[in-house]
């Protein structure tokens, strides 16, 4: 199931979301790809938008129509049992086991209805009876990867884990907490959990800032032909951002790295100091022959 994606990190994460997508779990990593791939080359920018289109198509493919009603996390927090690492281990869905549970971020869920995934012989049976929070975003399903410790993951990856938690809250039944990494023996959050929540919040903020930025400076369309070279142009839906304006192509510089990408700029934003016009491009033309 997951092996196919292992050869390509980006693919792995897109598929991770699409495998269980409910529509809201959109690939964290399609966005991470924007960090990993330097975006100075407009041809790469186009590739990225193709990857995004692909992601949303695949997400649509796997989307479920009937999603179980969400249990509100507030009701759920203080009910339920406390598990130890050892007591949870028994819940692997095997013949004489007491049930089939997984834990993520210290929250334990009854996943009996997902037995085909998590039960013995299922593609994700390694998640059963334990907390493997990190592996839900790393895709590292070796013993070293199947751990609760999420220290060192970027805020964006932390959002990915939080999306998985929401997925389990919606799809499955919350049953309690796992004592250890994220909760103490009184069921109170540990510093690990508080740090993780802080990182998630930071990640959500980053993502919303990014979305604002993308809406303000949508990527250009691009096309490369042997005969005419690179053409860059704006439309009212370039970069996958539908809008009631078109804009003109400009190089948008990232102040930190001095790399640039092509952005469609509204007239009122043309004074932005991080913009430079393309050579050989009329200043108010929506279409340019680019210099890469």
CA 78 vs. chain centroid, Å, equals 28
Neighbours of 252 (CB within 10 A): 22
With CB under 6 A as the contact rule, which of the stretches 16-24, 176-184, 201-209, 268-276 interacts with ligand HEM?
16-24
Q: Which is nearer to ligand NAG, 65 or 244 (CB)?
A: 244
Assess 19 for contact with ligand HEM (CB under 6 A).
Answer: yes
One character per residue 178-217, x = contact with ligand HEM (rule: CB under 6 A): ----------------------------------------
Q: Which is nearer to ligand HEM, 117 or 261 (CB)?
A: 117
> Please, are residues 130 and 124 in contact by the beta-carbon 8 Å criterion?
no
DSSP 265: E
Q: Which is nearer to ligand NAG, 66 or 284 (CB)?
A: 284
> Please, are residues 229 and 241 in contact by the beta-carbon 8 Å criterion?
no
Query: 199-237: b or e for each residue (b if 16 or more CB lie within 10 Å)?
Result: bbeebeeeeeeeeeebeebbbbbbeeeeeeebbbbbbee
Q: Which is nearer to ligand NAG, 143 or 244 (CB)?
A: 244
Assess 136 for contact with ligand HEM (CB under 6 A).
Answer: yes
CA 169, 172, 177, 182 dihedral sign is negative
Cross-strand pairs, 249: 264
With CB under 6 A as the contact rule, which of the stretches 14-22, 71-79, 261-269, 270-278 interacts with ligand HEM?
14-22
Residues that bind ligand HEM (CB under 6 A): 1-2, 4-5, 12-13, 15-16, 19-20, 62, 114, 117, 124, 136, 139, 171
Residues that bind ligand NAG (CB under 6 A): 236, 242, 244
């Amino acid at each position: 199931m997951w092996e196919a994606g292992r050869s390509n990190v980006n693919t792995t994460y897109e598929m991770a979301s699409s495998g269980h997508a409910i529509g809201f779990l959109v690939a964290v990593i399609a966005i991470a790809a924007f960090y990993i791939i330097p975006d100075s080359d407009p041809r790469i920018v186009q590739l990225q938008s193709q990857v995004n289109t692909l992601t949303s198509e695949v997400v649509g493919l796997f989307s479920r129509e009937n999603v179980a009603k969400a249990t509100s996390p507030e009701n759920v927090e203080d009910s339920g049992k406390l598990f130890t690492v050892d007591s949870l281990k028994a819940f692997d869905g095997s013949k004489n086991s007491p049930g089939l549970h997984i834990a993520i971020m210290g929250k334990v869920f009854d996943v009996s209805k997902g037995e085909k995934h998590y039960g013995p012989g299922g593609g994700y049976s390694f998640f059963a009876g334990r907390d493997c929070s990190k592996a839900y975003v790393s895709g590292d399903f070796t013993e070293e990867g199947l751990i609760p410790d999420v220290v060192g993951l970027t805020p964006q990856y932390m959002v990915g884990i939080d999306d998985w938690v929401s997925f389990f809250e919606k799809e499955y039944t919350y049953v309690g907490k796992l004592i250890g990494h994220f909760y103490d023996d009184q069921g109170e959050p540990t510093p690990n959990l508080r740090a993780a929540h802080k990182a998630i919040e930071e990640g959500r903020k980053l993502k919303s800032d990014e979305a604002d930025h993308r809406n303000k400076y949508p990527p250009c369309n691009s096309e490369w032909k042997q005969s005419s070279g690179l053409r860059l142009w704006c439309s009212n839906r370039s970069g996958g951002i539908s809008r009631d304006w078109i804009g003109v192509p400009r190089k948008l510089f990232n102040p930190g790295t001095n790399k640039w990408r092509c952005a469609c700029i509204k007239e009122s934003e043309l004074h932005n100091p991080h913009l430079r016009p393309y050579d050989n491009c009329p200043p108010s033309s929506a279409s340019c022959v680019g210099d890469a």
